[in-house]
Structure 1
Amino acid sequence: MTSFQPADLKLLGDLIQERFGLTFEGVRQDILGSRLRPRLRELRLDSPRAYYEYLRFHPRGDAEFDRLPALITNNETYFFRETRQFEILIEHVLPERRPAAPSRPLRLLSAGCSSGEEPYSLAIALHDAGLPPAARSWEIDACDLNPERIARAREALYDETSLRACDPESRRRYFSVEGGRFRLKDRYRVGVRFFQSNLLAPGFALDRPYDVILCRNLLIYFGDAAFDRLIGLFASALVPGGYLFLGHSESLFDRDTELLPVVVGGSVVYRKTAKP
């Protein structure tokens, strides 16, 4: 294939943004082209315009839409990434939230969970803090756009790259070796529920309130309109006084939202305005 035409990439990019909220404008057009080139070769399509038409009109277009997010987004994730936020959650946020919900488990959501490394890391951190799920002290929900990643998360079987931040003791304690791969032990999977969802689908709403939402390193893929819609969704789902954790390169400064920045444990997180 020769170089892709910018107009074709824009046509395809507009469709992706309409469907998923992901933006590939400007220099990101080249990223889109490079990530899709192998898939176009597999389908024997000669241009992004042909792929656009495949998505729109081919009988297998819906199935292709399901796999598209995995092709165009970065799958970079691993256990115990940015663990300082877990420490803040356990040391500061959960003790604050516990008196506000004495009769139910604290509910946490990992949004854009990929293949499960983040929510499982959080479950491990809660176990290690003396908060096992058997005590009904917490529940973790985790969602992702890609059904293949959700299936991998439920399987909980990982390659070496997912454990690159784990020392030998952590590997021994939390995982069992199976044929050169690593399966998370069952006790750290209890209390974690996975579901597939497009958070930006028209009319979508999270079906229960949360005390904490983690959405780390996902918002960088969205344009302004989708960014604001997603933050609005999280604000609606959080209980008054609930917290949103973002990635280090993401912020809500200069955004019109009821989620206010607060410094907790030396880091900035976002807290939903409590009812008077």
Structure 2
Amino acid sequence: MKVYISNYLSKSISIVDYSTFKLEKEIQLGDNIYPHHFCIDKESKMIYIPSSSNGILYVLDLEKNKIIDNVSIGGNLSQIVLCNNELFISNEDSNSIYILDKINLCPIGIISVDNMPHGFDFDENVNKLYVPCINSIVCIDVISKCIDKKIDTNFKAWHIKIDKMKKEIYTSTLDGKLVILDEETMDIKRIIEEFLLPVEICFNYKYRKIYITDLGYKNIRILDYNTLKYLGNIEVDGIPQGLEISKNEDLLFVSDTQRNSFKVYDVKSNKLIKEIRVGKEPTTIICM
């Protein structure tokens, strides 16, 4: 098993061995490829990387360790997700979601949404893609390629995560909130305002905790999963951005954009147990 980290400023993907937490390799992507977010096709061993600098989607072959294909989409590309062999890419400039066939990169369609669609989360059980925009959250049916539901809001939604156990949607906002919605109705259930600039969210079902990286406070906020009460912080000594939980849920993975490192924390003690230097400005983390 490997951990993959995108390094925005060094234009690279770092690969860390999951068992030893040693840097295995850093793949240089080339000029003008700034990887903020990416997705991995485990079957074909391909990484799909939207570059915000030039509006191009790149395909990285993990066996060859090089870019083998690309397609120009245009605009400020943000996040990408693989849904049923189709690629959905958010474009903040055109306020839309582009859909491509993953095999030949041919366009399938475009879905217009609201202002600045940024984050994504896909619920494969119901084939729904949730997209946070400024002042709204949009639910897209990936089979029909149509908007299934939309809720207008008075907060600036940014990143999003589905709690598939409770069937709830957690959204971090640019105005310092964590908003929780019912996944089916998209009604707002609760708003928590104990943040400055929350980003990524992840759930630890084993130890019943919720973790949120906060760029403003430069730490990881911890909530009780059942009560949503504030439990404390993990002080990162840097700027946390990317966040992921290990498969056994005993470890928390964090990308530190200030120290250019990938950090591993023990979830029982909240102590740092490993720091691995990666590329400049690491952002997204994916375990595969």
Q: Same fold (TM over 0.5)?
A: no
Q: Which has the higher contact order (CA 8 A, sep 6+)?
A: 1
Higher helix share: 1
Rg: which structure is higher? 1
User: Under a length normalisation based on structure 2, what TM-score does the superposition of the two structures give?
Assistant: 0.24
